[in-house]
């Protein structure tokens, strides 16, 4: 892959948040093809470099009642060298959707000679394993893992950890383009290849999202939720640095990847807040504004890469209603952050009132946050 080096970086304590990087060639050939001297603003990452990282990477596909054709398309796009973990929360009745997924996945695995892990989020053994490993936080009143993509992601992170994976990446199951999936995985690997820190996150910024507007295809660049989320995250950074910034473009990036070291250190917010909360958690823990519980991490850099994908992003359309829910979830974690200053809090409230998401005088409820996986007893989890 040929990728530009980051043009800008915001430093916030130990955090280095790099500006969006464009890809100039999705595939730049093998190591032997690399010219002796390269243009210094473009980095050449030969196929082998990406391949070696991907061999240590788990790709997690969270799924809940998606069309099987979409899930299959996503599987077709994941490079063979990655380990696939599918966490399903699909219905078991009246139609057993999970069984259908299982059949499709088994066939695919036979055809491709690929091993993968498929688990149901409501499997009582998973719940028991979590309880025995000292991580009951994501269990619900029925003592099963609660509904939600975030809860499924947490289960998958622990599975990837006990499989000994070094990297973990997430890709939604409702993506229409196998080519986009293939690209995201290589971009995750590219971010890790560029990083010199064990604490690294890579987030995908979509180049475009196709829509039909007045019977014409229109390639939108910015999502309606992410413009709001990004604006407030950037304001939070500017407040402390004193310099206005637009560095954050991926406040709501569902498609993201992390080194396992970082994945085990982060706290996780439930629901749509999980992705914006990555930023909040990093700014709080390693930003130097409040004391860090992990001074050893402060000795390193925490790197956040944002890579712009070339394929358009097209996923299942699930109606417009949840835009407001996503904005509320995103602003909730910003509003309740320990480092959110009064002026930004007031502006968050104004935004929520103006959009009619909250009524005047109301405050967003505090978000539900799950503690980091650092203290999970992995032996007990594996045994159970
Ligand atoms: N395991 C599991 N459990 N998966 C779930 C659950 C659940 O309870 N609920 C949803 N999923 C799966 C869906 O099947 C899909 O593959 C993925 O999680 C994302 O869910 P969507 O319902 O498609 O979310 P979205 O498209 O509105 O939002 C996506 O993009 C946002 C940013 O643009 C998500 O990735 C968000 O997390 C992200 O913020
Ligand atoms: Mg979706």
Q: Is the pLDDT of residue 17 over 90?
A: yes
List, for residues 267-323, the tens digit of each pLDDT value: 999 989 999 999 999 999 999 999 888 888 889 999 999 999 999 999 888 766 789
How far apart are the CA of 252 and the centre of ligand 1, in A?
Answer: 11
User: Binning pLDDT at 50, 70 and 90, where does residue 208 land?
Assistant: confident
HSE (side-chain half, CA atoms, 13 Å) at 105: 21
How far apart are the CA of 150 and the centre of ligand 1, in A?
Answer: 9
Ligand at shortest distance from the CA of 252:
1
Pocket of ligand 1 (CB under 6 A): 62-64, 66, 87-89, 121, 147-149, 152, 172-174, 223, 252, 254, 272, 275, 315-316, 318, 322
How far apart are the CA of 174 and the centre of ligand 2, in A?
Answer: 6
First-to-last CA distance in the chain? 41
List, for residues 335-358, the tens digit of each pLDDT value: 999 999 999 999 999 999 999 999
Strand partners, 118: 86
User: Binning pLDDT at 50, 70 and 90, where does residue 30 land?
Assistant: very high
Atom of ligand 1 nearest to the CA of 223: 33
How far apart are the CA of 318 and the centre of ligand 2, in A?
Answer: 7
Spatial neighbors of 165 by CB under 8 A, at least 6 apart, are 56, 57, 58, 83, 260
**Span 185-209, average pLDDT:** 96
CA 128/CA 25 separation, integer angstroms: 46
Map residue 115 onto helix, strand or coil. coil
Which residues have CB less than 5 Å away from ligand 2 (the ion)?
174, 315
HSE (side-chain half, CA atoms, 13 Å) at 258: 22
How far apart are the CA of 262 and the centre of ligand 1, in A?
Answer: 22
Tell me the percentage of the chain whose pLDDT exceeds 70. 98
Least Cα distance to 11 among 295, 331, 286 occurs for 286
Residue 182: predicted pLDDT: 98
Which letter does DSSP use for residue 367 in this model? P
User: Binning pLDDT at 50, 70 and 90, where does residue 203 land?
Assistant: very high
Residue 214, sorted as left (phi over 0), alpha (psi -120 to 50) or beta, turns out to be left
Residue 100: predicted pLDDT: 98
Residue 177: predicted pLDDT: 96
Map residue 136 onto helix, strand or coil. helix
Best probe residue, ligand 1, of 118, 121, 254, 329 (max atoms within 8 Å of C-beta): 254
Residue 355: predicted pLDDT: 95
Q: Strand runs (DSSP E) across 90-237, as ranges? A: 116-120, 167-170, 199-205, 209-213, 216-220
CA-angle at 23, arms to 318 and 305, nearest 5°: 75
Strand partners, 44: 2
List, for residues 90-104, the tens digit of each pLDDT value: 999 999 999 999 999
Residue 211: predicted pLDDT: 86
DSSP 311-360: SPP-B----STHHHHHHHHHHHHHHT-TT--HHHHHHHHHHHHHTTSS-T
**Span 115-121, average pLDDT:** 95
């Amino acid at each position: 892959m040929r990728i530009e080096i980051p043009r800008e970086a915001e430093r916030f304590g130990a955090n280095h948040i790099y500006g969006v990087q464009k890809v100039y060639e999705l595939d730049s050939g093998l190591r032997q093809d690399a010219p002796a001297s390269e243009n210094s603003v473009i980095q050449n990452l030969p196929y082998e470099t990406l391949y070696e990282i991907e061999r240590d990477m788990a790709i997690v596909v969270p799924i809940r009642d998606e069309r099987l054709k979409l899930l299959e398309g996503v599987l077709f796009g994941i490079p063979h060298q990655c380990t696939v973990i599918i966490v399903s929360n699909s219905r078991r009745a009246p139609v057993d959707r999970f069984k259908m997924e299982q059949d499709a996945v088994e066939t695919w695995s036979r055809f491709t000679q690929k091993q993968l892990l498929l688990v149901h989020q409501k499997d009582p053994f998973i719940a028991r394993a979590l309880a025995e490993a000292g991580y009951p936080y994501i269990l619900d009143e029925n003592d099963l893992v609660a509904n939600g993509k975030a809860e499924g992601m947490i289960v998958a992170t622990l599975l990837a950890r006990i499989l000994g994976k070094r990297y973990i990446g997430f890709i939604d199951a409702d993506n229409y383009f196998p080519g986009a999936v293939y690209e995201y995985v290589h971009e995750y690997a590219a971010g890790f290849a560029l990083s010199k820190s064990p604490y690294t996150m890579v987030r995908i910024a979509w180049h475009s999202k196709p829509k039909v507007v007045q019977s014409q295809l229109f390639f939108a660049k910015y999502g309606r939720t992410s413009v709001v989320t990004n604006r407030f995250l950037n304001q939070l950074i500017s407040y402390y640095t004193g310099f206005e910034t637009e560095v954050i473009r991926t406040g709501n990036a569902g498609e993201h990847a992390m080194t396992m070291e970082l994945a085990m250190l982060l706290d996780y917010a439930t629901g749509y807040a999980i992705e914006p909360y990555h930023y909040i958690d990093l700014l709080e823990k390693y930003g130097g504004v409040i004391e860090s519980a992990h001074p050893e991490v402060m000795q390193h850099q925490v790197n956040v890469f944002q890579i712009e994908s070339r394929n358009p992003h097209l996923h299942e359309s699930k109606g417009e209603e949840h835009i407001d829910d996503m904005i509320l979830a995103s602003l909730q974690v910003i509003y309740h952050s320990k480092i959110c200053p009064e002026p930004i809090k007031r502006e968050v409230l104004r935004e929520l009132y103006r959009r009619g998401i909250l009524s005047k005088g109301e405050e967003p409820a505090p978000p539900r946050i799950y503690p980091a996986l650092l203290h999970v007893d992995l032996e007990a989890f594996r045994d159970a």
